[in-house]
C-alpha cells in the first residue's frame, strides 16, 4: 500500500515538473515572438501561431490567452478584424480560462472587432459582459482603470453606430471622470487621460465643432510630450493637423499629418491612413505642390479601394463566422431539444404542459434566427454602396486618365460628361482651337509634358511647341501658368 501511494506521488510530481518544463518552453517561444514583432512583423505572425498551437497542445491556459491576444492584435493592426474575431471567440470558449482578467482581455478584443465590422449590438453585449467580469476583479485600482477603458470602448461603439451617436459623448465623459479620479501617483493616469481627451477631441472633430475640439486638444497637449503612446499620438497629430488646416495654416497642417502618418507606418497600422492621405492631398493642393498632391491623391485612391475590398471581405467572413456559430448553436440546441422531447414523451402523462413549453421555446429561437439572418443580409446588401458614399468626385478622373493612356477614342466623349462646359468655353475664345481640344483636355487633367508626349506619341519638343501655339491662340498672359489658367476656365 505504501509503495502504491509512493508511486502515485512520484507520478504526480513527474507530471507537474514536465508541465512546468513545457510552460517554460512556451514562455521562451513567446519571448521570441515579441522580439521578432519589433524586427520582422510578418515573420512574428507565423511564430505567434506556432506558440498558440503549442499552448493548446499542452493545454496551457495562460499561454493560450497570451498568444491569442498577440495574434489578434497583429490582425487588427492589418485591418483583418474578421480573423482577429475568430481567434478571440475561439479562445473565449475555453472553459478552463485562468481567471476573470483573461476573460476581460479576450472579450475586449472581440468587442473591438465587432465594432469595427459594424455589428454594434454584438459589441455592446460583449462590453456589458466585460463590465460584469471587471466587477469581479480583486484589485480595486485595476478595476477602475479597466472600467475607464471599457467606457471609452463603449463610447467608440456608440459613435460608430449612427443611431446611438449622441450616447458616445456620455460614455467618453464617464471614462474621463474615472481617469481623473485616479491617484496622481498612478503611472498610467497620464497615458489614459491623454487617450480619452484625444478621443473626445476626435468626437468633436467629426461633429464639425472645432472650438470644442481645440479645447480638448489643448488639454491633451499637456500630456503628449511625456508619453510614449505612439498610436494615441498619431490620432492627436491628425487632429492637430485638422485644426491647422481649418485655420489655413497649411504648412503646419501638413507637418502634423506627416508626423501622424510616420507613426502609423512604423506601427504597421492601417487606421487613419486613408484620411491622412486625403488631408495631405488637400493641403498640398492648397500649397500648390503639384507632385506631392498627385502622389497623395493616388495613395488615397489606392487605400480607398483596398480598404473597401478589405471591409467587404471582412464583413463577409464575419457573417460566415456568425452563421457557422449559429449553426453550431442550433445543432447543440437541436440535440438538447431532442433529449428534452424524448423525456417529455416518456413523461407525457405527468407533464404534458412541459412539452408544449419547450416546443414554444424552440419556435421562438427559430424566429430569432430568421430575424438575425435577415439583418445580416441587409448589412451585406449595403456594402456595395460604401465606395460611392466615401469617395470624392475627383476619383472619376481615374477613368479619364486610363482612357488617355490607352489613346482610346472614347476619351473625348467621357471628358465631355465630366466637364460639359469646357469645350464650349474654349471654342468661344477661338474657333481655330477645335483641332487642339483633346490636347487641351490633357492639360486640364494636369498631365505634364512627358505624360502628354507619351499619350500622344509625340516628342517633348513637339508638345512644348504645341503648348506655345495654344497659349497664343487663347491669348493666355505670359505671366500666367498655363495649367492654372485651364483649371480656372
CATH number at residue 110: 1.25.40.10
Poorest-pLDDT segment among 18-27, 75-84, 182-191, 290-299: 18-27
248 found inside a domain: no
Which pLDDT tens digit goes with each residue over 339-377?
Answer: 888 788 787 777 566 656 766 777 766 666 666 566 556
164 found inside a domain: no
Residues 6+ apart with CB under 8 A from 394: 297
Burial of 387 (0-12, 13-18, 19+ CB in 10 A): middle
Residues 6+ apart with CB under 8 A from 299: 277
Q: Where is the domain boundary, 130, 150, 180?
A: 130
- pLDDT value, residue 383: 43
32 found inside a domain: yes
420 found inside a domain: yes
* Res. 6: pLDDT tops 80: no
Residues 6+ apart with CB under 8 A from 263: 230, 231, 233, 234, 237
- pLDDT value, residue 314: 64
211 found inside a domain: no
Looking at the structure of the chain, the number of domains it has is 2
Which pLDDT tens digit goes with each residue over 194-243?
Answer: 989 998 998 898 888 888 999 999 888 887 776 665 678 888 889 999 98
Contact 263, 233 (CB under 8 A): yes
For residues 281-287, give the mean pLDDT.
Answer: 91
Q: Where is the domain boundary, 61, 96, 130?
A: 130
Q: Taken in order 166, 77, 277, 393, is the CA torsion positive or negative? A: negative
314 found inside a domain: no
Comparison of pLDDT for 272 and 236, the residue scoring more: 236
174 found inside a domain: no
Task: Count H helices and E strands in the chain, helices first.
Answer: 23, 0
- pLDDT value, residue 162: 82
**What is the span of the domain harbouring residue 468?**
393-488
454 found inside a domain: yes
Q: Where is the domain boundary, 103, 130, 157?
A: 130
* Res. 177: pLDDT tops 90: yes
| CA 122, chain centre distance (Å) | 17
CA separation for the pair 86, 321 (Å, rounded): 7
CA separation for the pair 451, 442 (Å, rounded): 9
Amino acid at each position: 500500500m505504501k509503495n502504491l501511494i509512493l508511486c502515485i506521488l512520484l507520478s504526480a510530481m513527474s507530471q507537474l515538473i514536465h508541465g512546468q518544463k513545457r510552460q517554460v518552453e512556451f514562455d521562451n517561444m513567446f519571448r521570441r515572438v515579441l522580439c521578432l514583432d519589433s524586427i520582422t512583423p510578418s515573420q512574428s505572425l507565423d511564430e505567434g501561431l506556432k506558440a498558440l498551437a503549442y499552448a493548446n497542445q499542452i493545454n496551457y491556459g495562460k499561454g493560450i490567452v497570451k498568444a491569442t491576444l498577440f495574434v489578434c492584435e497583429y490582425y487588427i493592426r492589418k485591418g483583418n478584424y474578421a480573423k482577429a474575431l475568430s481567434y478571440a471567440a475561439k479562445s473565449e470558449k475555453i472553459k478552463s480560462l485562468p481567471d476573470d482578467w483573461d476573460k476581460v482581455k479576450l472579450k475586449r478584443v472581440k468587442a473591438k472587432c465587432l465594432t469595427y465590422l459594424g455589428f454594434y449590438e454584438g459589441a455592446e453585449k460583449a462590453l456589458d459582459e466585460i463590465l460584469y467580469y471587471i466587477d469581479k476583479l480583486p484589485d480595486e485600482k485595476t478595476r477602475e482603470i479597466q472600467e475607464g477603458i471599457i467606457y471609452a470602448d463603449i463610447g467608440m461603439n456608440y459613435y460608430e453606430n449612427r443611431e446611438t451617436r449622441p450616447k458616445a459623448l456620455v460614455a467618453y465623459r464617464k471614462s474621463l471622470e474615472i481617469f481623473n479620479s485616479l491617484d496622481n501617483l498612478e503611472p498610467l493616469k497620464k497615458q489614459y487621460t491623454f487617450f480619452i481627451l484625444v478621443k473626445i477631441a476626435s468626437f468633436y472633430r467629426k461633429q464639425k465643432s472645432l472650438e470644442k475640439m481645440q479645447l480638448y486638444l489643448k488639454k491633451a497637449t499637456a500630456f503628449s510630450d511625456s508619453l510614449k503612446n505612439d498610436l494615441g499620438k498619431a490620432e492627436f497629430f491628425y487632429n492637430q493637423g485638422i485644426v491647422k488646416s481649418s485655420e489655413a495654416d497649411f504648412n503646419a497642417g501638413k507637418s502634423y499629418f506627416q508626423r501622424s502618418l510616420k507613426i502609423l507606418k512604423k506601427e504597421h497600422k492601417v487606421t487613419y491612413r486613408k484620411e491622412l492621405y486625403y488631408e495631405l492631398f488637400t493641403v498640398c493642393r492648397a500649397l500648390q505642390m503639384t507632385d506631392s498632391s498627385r502622389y497623395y491623391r493616388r495613395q488615397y485612391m489606392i487605400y480607398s479601394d483596398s480598404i473597401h475590398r478589405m471591409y467587404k471581405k471582412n464583413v463577409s467572413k464575419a457573417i460566415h463566422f456568425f452563421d457557422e456559430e449559429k449553426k453550431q448553436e442550433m445543432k447543440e440546441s437541436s440535440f438538447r431539444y431532442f433529449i428534452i422531447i424524448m423525456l417529455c414523451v416518456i413523461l407525457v402523462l405527468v407533464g404534458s404542459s412541459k412539452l408544449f413549453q419547450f416546443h414554444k421555446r424552440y419556435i421562438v429561437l427559430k424566429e430569432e434566427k430568421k430575424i438575425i439572418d435577415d439583418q445580416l443580409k441587409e448589412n451585406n446588401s449595403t456594402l456595395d454602396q460604401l465606395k460611392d458614399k466615401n469617395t470624392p468626385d475627383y476619383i472619376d478622373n481615374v477613368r479619364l486618365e486610363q482612357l488617355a493612356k490607352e489613346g482610346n477614342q472614347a476619351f473625348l466623349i467621357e471628358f465631355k460628361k465630366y466637364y460639359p462646359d469646357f469645350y464650349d468655353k474654349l471654342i468661344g475664345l477661338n474657333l481655330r482651337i477645335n483641332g487642339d481640344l483633346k490636347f487641351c483636355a490633357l492639360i486640364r487633367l494636369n498631365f505634364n509634358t512627358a505624360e502628354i508626349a507619351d499619350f500622344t506619341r509625340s516628342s517633348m519638343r513637339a508638345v512644348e511647341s504645341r503648348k506655345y501655339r495654344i497659349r497664343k491662340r487663347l491669348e493666355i498672359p505670359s505671366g500666367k501658368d498655363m495649367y492654372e489658367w485651364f483649371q480656372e476656365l
